[in-house]
Amino acid sequence: MNILQSYTDFEKTLNEIKPPEFWSDELKSVWHQTKGDWDKSHDIAQNIHTPMGSLIHAHLHRVEGDDWNAKYWYKQADRSFPSSSLEEELKSLVKEIIEGP
């Protein structure tokens, strides 16, 4: 079993067709978003009922340009609306999922 230990490990999976089945839903969701599949990422994220699921959900609505909805989900995750770029935020989410908060 291939366990991710860094963002670089995550990047190496992006040439695959789909993420590994044994990955967490959080990791699968950010993988799909990184690959540009907002819909698949959102389908997964909206069924993750944890602070990280809310944070991913918030990011996705920020990507969509729906700041009102994003702010709601950031609040659910007990986080503030980020000032970082979308790309920086997504990379940070991946790192947090892999490495922990």
Residue 91 lies in a domain: yes
Average pLDDT over residues 81-100: 94
Domain around 48? 35-101
Q: What is the mean pLDDT of the chain?
A: 94
Q: What is the pTM of this model?
A: 0.92
Residue 1's pLDDT is: 39
In this predicted structure, the answer to whether residue 95 has a pLDDT above a threshold of 90 is yes
Q: Does residue 7 lie in a domain region?
A: no
The verdict on residue 80 lying in a domain is yes
- pLDDT for position 24: 94
The string of pLDDT tens digits covering residues 36-60 is: 999 999 999 999 999 999 999 999 9
User: What b/e readout covers 27-53, taking b as 16+ CB neighbours within 10 angstroms?
Assistant: bbbbbbbbbeeeebbbebbeebeeebb
Per the structure, the count of domains in the chain is: 1
Q: Is residue 77 part of a domain?
A: yes
Q: What is the pLDDT of residue 4?
A: 84
